[in-house]
Amino acid sequence: MLLRPLRSWAARALRREGPGSLPSGPGSRGAQRRAWPRDKERENEKKSVICVEGNIASGKTTCLDFFSNTADIEVFPEPVSKWRNVRGHNPLGLMYHDASRWGLTLQTYVQLTMLDQHTRPQTLPVRLMERSIHSARYIFVENLYRSGKLPEVDYVVLSEWFDWIVRNIDVSVDLIVYLRTAPETCYQRLKMRCREEEKVIPLEYLDAIHHLYEEWLIKGGLFPVMAPVLVIEADHDMQKMLELLEQNRDRILTPESRKHGP
């Protein structure tokens, strides 16, 4: 019963695309290609999705801002404003104050809004996304469960939704840019930011998120890494980070320059 609304939505979407538009299989980028303009120039154009991953205050916004003025790139920041205001409710703030009560609520909505980010028609050669539906599951849902703040039944339900999405909807990624930052650095940066919800985040939370990112993208743990990983050490000031992003510009934006594996 839980999967029926999403199945109906997917069926309606496929009908809108018309006959012969079924994807070639899980992970295929065919569904997004059909959403782009049909002229030959667009059809032959190589498109890629790049996800910028990292801890809270690891420098993701700096990275997105750096590339935002580059031609032929569309930038998708994390939809934090949606998480802070759902018809007048703030599930992000509620989760930080009482994760045991509101963790499922927030992560259900995060999964929905990140799915929306992944499935929007791509109109430019490169899409640069802040995080992904994959890190929502492998990092933040996993952390809630391991810390004992998400009951197993909630964890299983979220996992079932995620697994169905990955099998049936194109949420593939071409490159992961991992901004590897020490939890202590992130904590100091958080103190200088003005997001009200983040004032209650302890160092221990950032440390747990860091270790899950390391387990996922560096060590190779329980979860699949669905794209090549470019690691950028991000324990630097703004000027140094801008220099590093410039040095890695081609590795990030040029598919031929990427190597597979972390």
The tally of CA atoms less than 13 A away on the side-chain side of residue 41 is: 2
3-state SS string for 134-173: HHHHHHHHHHHHHCCCCCHHHHHHHHHHHHHHHHHCCCCC
Question: What are the two backbone dihedrals, phi and then psi, of residue 150, each rounded to the nearest 5 degrees?
Answer: -125, 115
Strands 229-233 and 126-130, bridge-based pairing: unpaired
Q: Are 96 and 195 in contact (CB under 8 A)?
A: no
Q: What's the farthest any 2 CA atoms get from each other in the chain?
A: 54
- List Cα–Cα distances, 23 to 104, 117, 127, 160, 209, in angstroms: 31, 19, 20, 21, 34
Which of 43, 130, 196, 215 is an active site residue? 130
Active site residue 130: yes
| CA–CA separation, 130 and 60 (whole Å) | 7
Q: Which two tokens stand for residue 52?
A: 């910028």
Active-site residue numbers? 130
